[in-house]
A and B are shown apart, each in its own frame.
Chain A
């Protein structure tokens, strides 16, 4: 591996740019009694090493299936998952007779694939945490964290030492002998995180990891995920239906809607300029619907923190001489930056409305019309 220095640096740079996970034309169909149901269709995604990548969608959009395809808990019906440059589908060489028999007994090659040694090896490089924590109820906290280490045959002493370190990291060193039934939801998720990190995975998959937790605990768990990402360099993939989770920790986000990726981009970009109705809906939440009275024209103004000293709305009213109705406003912490948005109602009169729009354009405040 010893090469000249420049080449090595180049290689490292390359590594930075090569996605750790690539999804190419991924599709998943489920056979149900009511005919096939498409959960995912033609999904293309690239996830870079070291980032926190969010996948957001309403329930039933296919996001849980998507995350399960990444570690082959669900075998995609089309397309490929490429992890660190290697396709998880494996080589398609001729199966041996024993393999054929096994596939026959297993009810198809999909099931055989799901259990192959290659897949298991890849899974060990990807930790996963769940909405319902999924801890082993008959094992105490320490034994739960040791579990993945037992699976790979780490000796007991070493496994315990590693587990103790991890439990210290998640702040549960005093509950090591407790059983899951004695823990709160937040504590259970901490144990699950420690367990998922035990084998030093490169990727941490979080399937609705905070959806069963209260807002305060959610904040702590998200903080922990961010800390793991920053300190251990682990790529984190967050599946959620809550925009606030994405805003709090994600670098980039993919919005999934009806089995398709609606849009992908940096969280701050999508926040200030969503291109799809679903994106707008997720960002504004119920606010857009709550104020959908009458046929008035409404604008969504986005503040990215720079104009905070400038009284935008007051100046707007003074300059345009039109009444403005503020219908909704909030400030959010998007990737550590304070970003706000406001929903205002402007006059229906075309000339007056245009005056407002032109004013906003000249003062360079980001906005968009909401209908």
Chain B
């Protein structure tokens, strides 16, 4: 294959599309996942505001969504995607299925971060007459912050991995280039380049979020 300006242009678009898909769907997934994660912890039978029936129901729905393979979800959600973004092609069209797949995953990540918060600290807040909302805003979220950042590093890189599957349904990004050139056209060198780029992006995301987590954590100094 030839390495000309068009190739570089294509790779540049690929990088941009990958980043767009990853961060747009991560952001939306977190907007959905954080409240769900909070609910899973707070409404648990031994949580601070137990609603065991609703909590169990939500747990089942989340497990259900998480057990559908992403590639199947991509196809199942085509009508939904079309209704929302108006097209089923391109990077934009991958965001809705990515959100549907990632939000339940993130809800579980957030849940596990919140469960790490020392029960004694929550009890102390209760002993001071804190309301459920105050405990969520002033205890759970700030105390779980470092762990939430570590979770974000894992979640975002996982979403990036999912986004690479978009190529199979005419999405966009580096994954699509890898599939179209590397897999369908046997251009191994192109596949290698895209994979290396993906590795670099994952490294940067992982390391920078871990750093954020460390900087904000006041427990170790």
Contact = CB atoms under 8 A, between A and B. Distances in A.
Interface of A: 71, 73, 105-107, 111, 115, 119-124, 126-128, 130, 132, 134-140, 147-148, 150-152, 179-182, 192, 196, 199, 205
Contacts of A205: 127
Contact of A151 (B50, B134, B221): B134
Nearest to A111: B50
Contact of A106 (B49, B127, B130, B145): B49
A140 B221 CA distance: 13
Nearest to B120: A134
Given A107-B53, A111-B49, A138-B146, 15 more contacts: A106-B49, A115-B49, A120-B129, A121-B129, A123-B129, A128-B128, A135-B121, A135-B124, A151-B125, A151-B130, A179-B219, A180-B218, A181-B218, A182-B221, A192-B124
B187 interface: no
Interface of B: 45, 48-54, 118, 120-121, 123-132, 134, 138-139, 142-143, 145-146, 216-221
Nearest to A128: B127
A150 B123 contact: no
A134 B121 contact: yes
Interface centre among B127, B130, B138 (most CB of A within 10 A): B127
Nearest to A181: B219
16 contacts: A107-B50, A119-B129, A120-B131, A122-B129, A123-B126, A123-B129, A134-B123, A135-B121, A137-B121, A138-B146, A138-B216, A138-B219, A148-B128, A151-B128, A180-B219, A192-B124
B121 A107 contact: no
A152 B121 CA distance: 18
Nearest to A126: B127
Contacts of B53: 105, 107
A137 B219 contact: yes
Given A105-B51, A138-B142, A123 B127 contact: yes
B143 A138 contact: yes
A137 B218 contact: yes
Nearest to B47: A111
B213 to A, nearest CB: 12
B221 A150 contact: no
B139 A136 contact: yes
Given A128-B124, A182-B221, A134 B129 contact: no
